[in-house]
Structure 1
């Protein structure tokens, strides 16, 4: 490509690589949303155990998400989808890490995307 020999490009392989890159970014978005949402749930449900470690994890995940979205603006349109796909895993993670009964945690996400990403929330 750098030599501008576009007729020699393996378009099928190039398309596959671009799609794979997009999928990796989406997977990273889901993963960060899972960890962040799980920590926000723990912060809300187990407020008496709040720690600097939880606060740091929340801050790092928000910063990393902001950077990911800034570098890959196309992911912004997929935030709701990624949140819907990561919610159950986030809930399960929070339950496993707190040892609290399932009933202590909401069945649906109590946070909006704006709240999840808001460093003041």
Structure 2
């Protein structure tokens, strides 16, 4: 590998250099160790984003359901936006579908805390586990009563 292009000090230049090596099929020059790390990191990033999107979606659905007198268009807009982003992630990465149940399980405790903080309601008011199905969470027409 070109010693002047270092993964630790200039990631962008390193990435461009390794991409050029791949295009030129100069496999023996590739920084395999860091390439593997980056590929694994990309998959983890998508899973983290999916969980984060569910956290916001769930928090807004909980607020919508448990504090109906405060419903507003921004909550509805946030619900719609998170659904769009989740669906876009799944379209771009169909294998993430298998991660949906786990993402919801990971997201729910933080969504519960967020909903409690934003509404001022005690966490004990809300269900301890997610009561919405995956289908409901992804359905653009589903909003709790």
With the shorter chain as reference, the TM-score category is over 0.9
Give the helix-richer structure, 1 or 2: 1
Counterpart mapping for 1:76-115 below 5 A: 76-115=97-136
Off by >3 Å, runs of 4+ in structure 1: none
Q: TM-score, normalised by structure 2?
A: 0.80
- The number of equivalent residue pairs is 121
The partner residue of 1:23 within 35, 44, 65 is: 44
Deviates more, 1:52-61 or 1:102-111: 102-111
Of the three residues 63, 77, 85, the one matched with 2:84 is 63
TM-score, structure 1 as length reference: 0.95
Higher relative CO (Cα under 8 Å, sequence separation at least 6) belongs to 1
- Partners in 1 of 2:80 and 2:114 — Cα distance? 18
Q: Give the drift of 1:72.
A: 1.4
Query: In the TM superposition, what is the alpha-carbon distance from 1:8 to its structure 2 partner?
Result: 2.1
Greater Rg by CA: 2
